[in-house]
Amino acid sequence: MRYYNFYGQIIKYLKRGALALCVAALAFSVVLADEPRIMRLAHIYQPDSPSGIGLQMFADRVHEYSEGRIDVRVFPAGQLGSARNIYISSKSGAIDFCVPSFPILADTVPEIAIMTSGYLFKDFEHIEKVLDNPQLGQKWNREIVEKSRLRIIGTYYYGKRVVTTRDKAFRNPLQAKGQKIRAVPNPMSLAVIKGLGANPTPMAIKEIFIGLSQGVIDGQENPYPTIWSNKFYEVQKYLIETFHQINAVPFAISEISWKRLSSEDQAIVNRATSEAMKLITANTHQFEAEIVDRLKAKGMIIVPNRELATHEFEESVRLSIRNRFDGRVWRAGLMEEVLAAGSQ
């Protein structure tokens, strides 16, 4: 009988222990339910750049509008890898938000490479009309969702591209002949610089400063924010306002992450995205309006757009792009469709 009572007591304590574990597990699950959803946003831009400031604001607004339920943690300046590495991680859902370039997205949807064409877009509003067009941008986004599991939820203005050179300026394609100008390592950049009349030299952005200082290349082309943040004015004398490309940057969310959000939280993300895109665009326009005087103060000589043979550059660049892309990378006539979309 004593043995029976002894084992009976053990069973009773075990039952109490199991009940305690259940209560603890329930309490732990309640704590977890109160914890915010952690989401990661990675990009390659400096925190104090227009892009960096706006993307941080996006994270702050999501936290505010969700009343703390969503915590977007921002990893700027390539902390989680290059733009391509971040893009790959976002496709798998390892990173929730990313800022892929149109050339990277063109690996999946070749037609979207047209978004970085030279002398094709009048302004950023023209770009927005193309991206909102059901037969153009909206169609491309559906393909990206299907093939890359990324969803473009916004786009912002990144600036007009200009050329800088070390020893001499040029004002028409003939004068640019023989100059080695760094190109972004993608087919569109090569075609555009060839159309400007120069010799395109592919080079990673981190190698540009050394390439310029050592004379490996004579010049480079980029929007004003990139020229300023990389201090190219220290190794370049001339800035030529070719305005050959109007750059826009897409903002995307992993489709895996998007589907995990409730409809309410999706609306919050969309609202914060819209506000952030407007802020970055406004800050970039303001930066462009102020930067010329700052570059002059650094010793650069500015060749204004009005002094250039813009019509000659336009004809040459468009011809170069047609020969490389039209009817090959994208369907024939796409450039005309994009031009027409700007007047709609």
65-100 residue pLDDT tens: 999 999 999 999 999 999 999 999 999 999 999 999
Looking at the structure of the chain, the number of domains it has is 1
The answer to whether residue 66 is domain-embedded is yes
Select from 146, 36, 153 the least CA-distant residue to 91.
146
Look up the CATH number of the domain holding residue 66: 3.40.190.170
Select from 81, 92, 233, 266 the least CA-distant residue to 162.
233
**Residue 91: enclosing H or E segment and its boundaries?**
helix 83-92
The answer to whether residue 90 is domain-embedded is yes
CB-based contact 43:51 (threshold 8 Å): yes
Q: What is the pLDDT of residue 16?
A: 54
Query: pLDDT band at 11, cuts 50/70/90?
Result: very low
The answer to whether residue 123 is domain-embedded is yes
Query: pLDDT band at 270, cuts 50/70/90?
Result: very high
Q: What is the pLDDT of residue 22?
A: 47
* Residue 236: domain span: 36-341
To 5 degrees, how large is the angle CA 72–CA 49–CA 169?
Answer: 150
Residues 6 or more apart whose CB falls under 8 angstroms from that of 96 comprise 39, 40, 41, 72, 90, 253, 254, 257
- For residue 26, pLDDT over 60 is answered with no
The pTM of this model reads 0.87
The answer to whether residue 203 is domain-embedded is yes
Select from 226, 185, 223, 224 the least CA-distant residue to 204.
185
Task: Report d(CA 118, CA 198) in Å as an integer.
Answer: 14
